[in-house]
Chains A and B, each alone.
Chain A
Amino acid sequence: AQKITQTQPGMFVQEKEAVTLDCTYDTSDPSYGLFWYKQPSSGEMIFLIYQGSYDQQNATEGRYSLNFQKARKSANLVISASQLGDSAMYFCAMRDWDYKLSFGAGTTVTVRA
């Protein structure tokens, strides 16, 4: 069963604008963690932000924030003030009881000058 769904294969955003990347997940485990990773064209996987299922507040890390809607099983990534260097593939992932990560198919973001 697909645990992580990212419905946006690709997105364009203007420099300095905000962009929201969608992620929905499926689990029956009450304890889980949600992660976002960035993969630039060079190929490495860069950890961006984490949200725990019991966290009361939405996670933020610099220009990255996570819009966590637990009842809807949604964990959308918001990138504010987009920069050209934000052009990359972004992956949503979930880690539940077995500590393994399940990844979505990813969303490609292209930032336009």
Chain B
Amino acid sequence: NAGVTQTPKFQVLKTGQSMTLQCAQDMNHNSMYWYRQDPGMGLRLIYYSASEGTTDKGEVPNGYNVSRLNKREFSLRLESAAPSQTSVYFCASSDKTGTNQPQHFGDGTRLSIL
């Protein structure tokens, strides 16, 4: 039972470098999400995809782009990394039907921008 798989688990980048974080889920969920977690701030939504073929901005989208490659995969791209993007990134998925569906999270990617 893989659930939600994120790669890589850790990454160090230099300012200005680009990088794509990968996420795949095997639960046949319609909706997928990208969050960042900073100390003392909980999780904040970056982008989400309510269903295959759609993406929308969340609370903190600046500096990021996403691609919903297919129903299983949802990637997050940093085009020009900045130190302010140092964070732990979580991917999540859920079945969109109703408000009672919990989101299932990957194990996170720890990203440091130097």
Contacts and interface: CB of A to CB of B under 8 A. Distances in A.
14 contacts: A4-B42, A33-B98, A33-B99, A33-B100, A43-B110, A45-B43, A45-B108, A47-B103, A97-B99, A99-B31, A100-B33, A100-B48, A100-B58, A101-B45
Interface of A: 4, 9, 31-33, 35, 37, 43-45, 47, 50, 52-53, 91, 93, 95-97, 99-106
Nearest to A31: B99
Interface string B83-110: 0000010101010101111111101101
B110 to A, nearest CB: 8
B33 A45 contact: no
B58 A32 contact: no
A103 B99 CA distance: 15
Contact of A105 (B42, B94, B110): B42
Interface residues of B, number: 27
A9 B40 CA distance: 8
A103 B103 contact: no
A67 B56 CA distance: 33
Interface in B40-63: 40-45, 48, 50, 58
B100 A101 contact: no
Given A33-B98, A53-B99, 19 more contacts: A4-B42, A9-B40, A32-B99, A33-B101, A35-B102, A43-B108, A44-B107, A44-B108, A47-B102, A47-B104, A93-B43, A95-B99, A99-B50, A100-B45, A100-B58, A101-B33, A101-B43, A101-B92, A105-B42
